[in-house]
Amino acid sequence: MTSHYTPPAFITFTGVDHGDLLPGMQALSARYPIEWGVLFDAAQEAAALFPSAEVRAALRGAPLRLSAHICGAAARAIVRGDDPGLDLAGFSRLQINHARAGSNDDEIRNSARYAAHHGARAALQCQGEFPDDLRVDWLYDVSFGTGVRPSTWPAAQARLPFCGYSGGLGPDTVRGTLGRLPIAAGASYWIDMESGVRTDDRFDLAKCETVCRIVFDELPRTNG
């Protein structure tokens, strides 16, 4: 039997990459708390996972909660303190995917400053315990879009404003994983998934809906 758990504030489904998804995204967002993760990398634009500028513009014009997941040269520029010149209107969070190791003080400060300049909150990745630095949100990520599921998860503490979990999550794993996440009383968190909601390397809204139904409709909650 699944243990009771504290539900996430929302689920981030990352890798929206074609425009015909928009009506279904809007319908699903009307039913569940969802953030849609949009990947940015000029070197991979219009490839799988990375939408074209036209698709990004259509997403920004819709009433959706969006996060920009900035990769490649643009992410490296941001943590150096440079401005890569991205159009980020409509995005409420900016995840700066600059490296697979942790972030130093300059990188955290530059990421937070860049996001604030765009009226958004910055998120960075970590591979161990959630750092105590409150200038950014922290996503625990040892998978990097490959579907690798961690054997252990760091604890989300109430002293941190917002923590995220990623790695091997999808319709087949989210039910068993959520009950194992160490969420302290009063802590707020989100979950992120990418490869787990794709079919034949295309973003799959049916899988997103299945995940939402499990997380928000089926699993028993500690608060009711």
Q: What is the pLDDT of residue 13?
A: 98
Percent of the chain with pLDDT over 70: 92
pLDDT digits (tens, 9 = 90+) for 21-67: 999 999 999 999 999 999 999 999 888 899 999 999 999 999 999 99
Query: What's the average model confidence in pLDDT over 204-215?
Result: 97
User: What would you measure as the largest C-alpha separation in the chain, in angstroms?
Assistant: 50
**Of residues 131, 191, 147, 186, the one with CA closest to residue 165:** 191
Strand residues in the chain grouped as ranges (E): 11-14, 34-40, 66-70, 93-96, 121-126, 137-140, 163-166, 189-193, 198-199, 202-203
* Percentage with pLDDT > 90 across the chain: 78
The residue-averaged pLDDT of 1-30 equals 87
The more confident residue out of 145 and 53 is 53
For the segment 150-174, the average pLDDT, to the nearest whole number, is 91
What average pLDDT does the segment 186-197 reach? 95
Q: Is 5 within a domain?
A: no
Is 189 part of a structural domain of the chain?
yes
CA gap 164, 224 in Å, rounded: 23
CB-based contacts of 85, cutoff 8 Å, min separation 6: none
Whole-number average pLDDT of the chain: 90
Q: What is the pLDDT of residue 152?
A: 86
- Whether the CB-CB separation of 180 and 153 falls below 8 Å is answered with yes
Rg (CA), the chain: 17
Domain assignment present for residue 36? The answer is yes
Residue 223 lies in a domain: no
CATH number of the domain to which 41 belongs: 3.20.20.70
Runs of H (alpha helix) within 1-117: 22-29, 53-60, 72-80, 105-117
CA–CA separation, 58 vs 8, rounded Å?
A: 27
Say how far apart CA 183 and CA 157 lie, in whole Å. 7
Tell the residue number behind the tokens 């997403």, with chain if given.
59
Mean pLDDT across 80-107: 90
Q: Is 83 or 160 the better-scoring residue by pLDDT?
A: 83
Question: Does 88 score more than 90 pLDDT?
Answer: yes
Instruction: Please report which confidence band the pLDDT of residue 224 belongs to, taking 50, 70 and 90 as the band edges.
Output: very low
In a domain, 184, yes or no: yes
- Is residue 43, in this structure, part of any structural domain at all? yes
Q: Using CA atoms, how far apart are residues 210 and 174, in angstroms rounded to an integer?
A: 10
Buried b (16+ CB within 10 A) or exposed e, 137-149: bbbbbbbebebeb
Q: Is residue 59 part of a domain?
A: yes
Count of the separate structural domains present in the chain: 1
Q: Is the pTM of this model over 0.85?
A: yes
pLDDT at residue 146, rounded to an integer = 57
- Which domain, by its residues, includes 57? 11-218
Task: Tell me, yes or no, whether 99 lies in a domain.
Answer: yes
Model confidence at 143, in pLDDT bands (50, 70, 90)? low
d(Cα 35, Cα 65) in Å, to the nearest integer? 5
